[in-house]
Structure 1
Amino acid sequence: MHPAADDPHTRTALEGYRAGALRWLAGGLIAVVLAVLLGAVAVSIAEDRGRPLPLAGMVVVVLVVGGVVAAVAGLGALLRALRWHRALTAVPWQRGLLRIAGPAIVAFEPEGYDEWDPADEPVRLRLVSTSVWRTRQVQELDGGEVRAAPVGPGQWVLTAEGLPTLYGARTARRPR
């Protein structure tokens, strides 16, 4: 079997994921720079007028906090994409069906899975995405064919034909 990273769709999906991470990182850094510039302009105007600009301090604080959070999220996504790429160079994709079991809980049934065999269990996964639109994209794949690959202990990556990105998931504990 060929490593998953050799697949052209995988390369495209990883690039899409990286592009999103870079947008978050760049947006966060731009917000922090704008906050510094706005703070400098607000101080200059306040010195000239003799009184502070209303809400300028609040806007600066919101830009700094939001920018730092976005930059950290983007950096984390970049590191995750690098880790996924390394893992996907060592393992092949496993094809199978995706079953939705809850808002962010899915079950991956690899090829050869026998639902009538009590010893054969699907891989139960919990999506790690925090965005509603990404979760809904995966939910729309219910019953459809997907590709999945383990990228670490208890960590998986999912994708399907036509999807522009990868989705991370962790193994879920089975309800008792």
Structure 2
Amino acid sequence: MIIDDAATCAQSLPLGNLDALRALAEGHHGRTVRSLGMSQAAGHLVKSYAIEAPGRVVTSQEGQAALRIACDYLASAYLRGSLGLSVLLVHAGGDGDYVLVHTWTEGYMSDLAIFTGPAGDVGGLRPGRSGLAPCVWEAAVLAHERDAFSRHVLDGDGSLEERLAVWRDDLLEGQVR
């Protein structure tokens, strides 16, 4: 069945889903994204970002702890086909803290690990449940990084070193929704 009008589209969802969607839309807000710089970890170039919910801040200690988590995870990334470029997201969320380690792999693919824990307890971060995927704010940063990787590294001009320098400097900062 093809749905071609808004009323039919809304009517096709269970009432509880409509209520949940309304609640999400009403609570949606921007989150601040800022660069935490470029690092090396386990043979990878790691471009790091902080994502901050209103009233939350990613501290330098939390950034360093997240980099240690990334280093441990990336230590075996070459076994998964890693190409040595990674993006680290340190998300001080409204309901807890998250660390995402995204790595470009062979065959135009990527690898993603998500660690979750209680707000403000970096030591409590553990691998997320199977099937967990990035939230809307994390996905916005990863979308930017996907475009930067394709535009600068894969399709860029110049030597690979020049392409990597341009990729390194292509940062997303400000509010994401």
TM bracket (short chain): under 0.3
TM-score w.r.t. the length of structure 1 is 0.26
Which structure carries more helix by proportion?
1
Query: Which structure exhibits the higher relative contact order, with contacts defined as CA atoms closer than 8 Å and separated by 6 or more residues?
Result: 1
TM-score w.r.t. the length of structure 2 is 0.26
Which structure carries more strand by proportion?
2
Pick the structure with greater CA Rg: 1
